[in-house]
Structure formats: structure tokens, C-alpha cells
């Protein structure tokens, strides 16, 4: 055997590949804004026409519907609001509604006593301080009873086209963490991350699209990853391999 035969044989062997679990995903080198841009583009293609799932005909109706949607499905809220607004169509009428009557109409949305109290108080504020109009200012909105940043962002973005922030609900929270857009669980911190990563002119539609995606594809228990257009770059953080 030639002196360097063993060396030649050794160098001819193919290099060993790292196990698949040791290799980083193709998007590992992408920064947060790069991934966010991909998410925005894919969501826009998948859900070009988006609207708020809560049925409404005015800012006041959407405000009340959003308060009712806490810990409740939009479908259930949409079943309740037609009767609610038929009986009390304006802030003044809602403010004057007997609390027990309000509770009875909204009972099926859950936490109905606290919601009825907030709805009545919020309506009173609108009637007394804002001439029955929903203010177009987030600082004023969040002073209303039962209204936080999420509710304010929903109303201001949907009804007035004002991008004051990003709506963060359970769907937005879940998907943002799976995509690696945030590591937080607190809604305020998640919103700050998304506001930094997503262009402001996309905030309103981005949130609507994330919510639609969370209901249809990226569900809580069994996400339909094989049907998701973002599966090629989604790191699937926290998603079970099964």
C-alpha cells in the first residue's frame, strides 16, 4: 500500500453533517424586523380584506361590544348585541337602563354583573362628557370605565382609522410568541414589541389579520402548521412536534 494511501482514503470520506436538531433554521439570522416584514406580507396575502369580527354600526356599538368580548367569543357577543342596541341604542339610553335589565340581556357573555356596571358607567361618561360621541383620543378613551388599551385600539383603529397601537388579544399573544416576535406574556410589553417591529400604517390591519389567522390556522391546541403559508420561516416556538 502506498505511504499516503490511508490519508487519501480518509480525505475522500464525506464530511459528517450535523444532526437536524443541531442545525439552525433558515431564518435564525434574520432580525426581528425582517421576520416581522415577512409576517406582515404573508398575512396581507392570506387575508387581503379584513374587518373586525364584532358586528357594529357605530363607534359606540363597537365600544360596548368590545367590552362585552372580554372572556367571551365574538360569536356570542354578536348574538347578544342586536337586542342590547335595539333596547338602548344610544349612550344616554344605555346609561339610563336599569342595571338588572342590562344584566339579563348580556348574561350569556359571562361576568355579566361587572360588564353591566362598566357599560352603564361608560355610557354615562360618553353622554355627560362627550355629547354621546366616542372620543378620538386614546388617552381619553382609557379613562372610560371598562376600557383599556386593547379596547381603545380596537375602536380607534376600526372606526376612525387611527393607528394608536396594536390590538393584543389571546390570538395575537399566542402567534407573536410562536413567531418569535416577542418573548413576553404581558400584553403591554407585547404591544411595545409589535409597535417597534411593525410599520405604524400596518398596525390596524396587522392585528385583524393575526386574529383571523389565530382562529383559522394557528389555533391554541392544534395549530394547522401544514396549512400555514408562514411555515417555511416560522420557528414554531412552543409548538409541540406532535
Decide if 169 is catalytic. Answer: yes
Q: Are 210 and 175 in contact (CB under 8 A)?
A: yes
Quote the CA–CA distance of 55 and 52 in Å, as a whole number: 7
Catalytic residue among 74, 117, 169, 192: 169
Decide if 150 is catalytic. Answer: yes
Catalytic residue among 38, 150, 193, 205: 150
Write phi, then psi, for 38 (nearest 5 degrees).
-65, -45
C-alpha cell at 130: 362627550
Quote the CA–CA distance of 200 and 63 in Å, as a whole number: 22
C-alpha cell at 8: 487519501
Positions annotated as catalytic residues are: 150, 169
Amino acid at each position: 500500500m502506498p505511504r499516503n494511501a490511508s490519508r487519501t482514503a480518509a480525505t475522500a470520506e464525506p464530511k459528517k453533517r450535523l444532526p437536524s436538531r443541531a442545525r439552525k433554521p433558515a431564518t435564525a439570522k434574520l432580525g426581528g424586523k425582517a421576520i416581522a416584514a415577512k409576517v406582515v406580507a404573508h398575512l396581507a396575502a392570506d387575508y387581503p380584506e379584513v374587518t373586525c369580527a364584532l358586528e357594529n354600526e357605530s363607534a359606540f356599538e363597537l365600544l360596548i361590544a368590545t367590552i362585552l368580548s372580554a372572556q367571551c367569543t365574538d360569536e356570542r357577543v354578536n348574538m347578544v348585541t342586536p337586542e342590547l342596541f335595539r333596547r338602548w341604542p344610544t349612550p344616554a339610553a344605555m346609561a339610563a337602563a336599569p342595571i338588572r335589565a342590562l344584566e339579563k340581556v348580556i348574561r350569556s357573555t359571562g361576568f355579566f354583573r361587572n360588564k353591566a356596571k362598566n357599560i352603564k358607567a361608560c355610557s354615562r361618561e360618553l353622554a355627560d362628557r362627550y355629547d354621546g360621541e366616542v372620543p378620538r383620543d386614546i388617552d381619553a378613551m382609557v379613562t372610560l370605565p371598562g376600557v383599556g388599551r386593547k379596547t381603545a385600539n380596537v375602536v380607534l383603529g376600526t372606526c376612525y382609522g387611527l393607528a394608536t397601537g396594536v390590538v393584543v388579544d389571546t390570538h395575537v399573544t399566542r402567534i407573536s410568541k410562536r413567531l418569535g416576535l416577542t418573548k413576553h406574556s404581558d400584553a403591554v410589553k407585547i404591544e411595545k414589541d409589535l409597535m417597534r417591529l411593525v410599520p405604524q400604517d400596518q398596525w390596524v390591519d396587522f392585528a385583524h389579520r393575526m386574529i383571523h389567522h389565530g382562529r383559522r390556522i394557528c389555533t391554541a391546541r392544534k395549530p394547522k402548521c401544514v396549512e400555514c403559508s408562514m411555515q417555511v420561516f416560522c420557528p414554531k416556538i412552543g409548538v409541540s412536534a406532535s
